[in-house]
Amino acid sequence: MTPPIEYEDATAEVRAIYDDIRATRGTDYINNVWKCFAHNPKLLRRTWESVKEVMGPGTLDPVVKEMIYLAVSISNNCGYCIASHSAGAQKAGMTDEMFGEVMDIVGMANENNKLVAGYRVPIDDVYLKVRGAD
């Protein structure tokens, strides 16, 4: 395990980021992921800046963003991320029923992703014309 670096043991550079996390989230609590990344201040800064930009206000609703993050973390079997983003999604408004539907989809997508691989399904011509990015 990486020992989390507490605020009082942190460098000024790390404290400034901890302060920003607290201010942005409106809570004094800083979870362990940041306290572990603090062993690598550049990575801490880069990751936190990305999280602020990506999970901050945008077109998608915050709870939708959290559910997508959670769905990916479940597919990747990341225990910490499943725990923290289950909490995050609930805080953002995910009800038990919504979580149940996320799980329905995650389970089915994982099944079908592999069935498609095993059956080597040829891509339909109509999908080749669909652009992914615009």
Footprint (CB under 8 A) of a second copy, residues 24-83: 29, 31-33, 36-37, 39-40, 42-43, 46-47, 50-51, 53-55, 58-60, 64-65, 67-83
Residues 110-129 that bind a second copy (CB under 8 A): 110-124, 126-128
Report the SS3 class of residue 123.
coil
Beta carbon of residue 131, minimum distance to a second copy (angstroms, whole number):
6
- Of the candidates 103, 108, 110, 75, the one whose C-alpha atom is nearest the C-alpha of residue 89 is 103
Minimum CB separation of residue 99 from a second copy in Å reads 7
According to the binding rule CB under 8 A, does residue 16 interact with a second copy?
A: no
Least gap, CB of 57 to a second copy (angstroms): 11
Distance between CA atoms of 109 and 14, rounded to whole angstroms? 39
Residue 19 CB, shortest distance to a second copy, in Å, is 19
The smaller minimum CB distance to a second copy, of residues 12 and 126, is found at: 126
- Is the separation of the CB atoms in 36 and 8 below 8 Å? no
Contact at 8 Å (CB) between 85 and 73? yes
Intra-chain end-to-end CA distance of the chain, in Å:
42
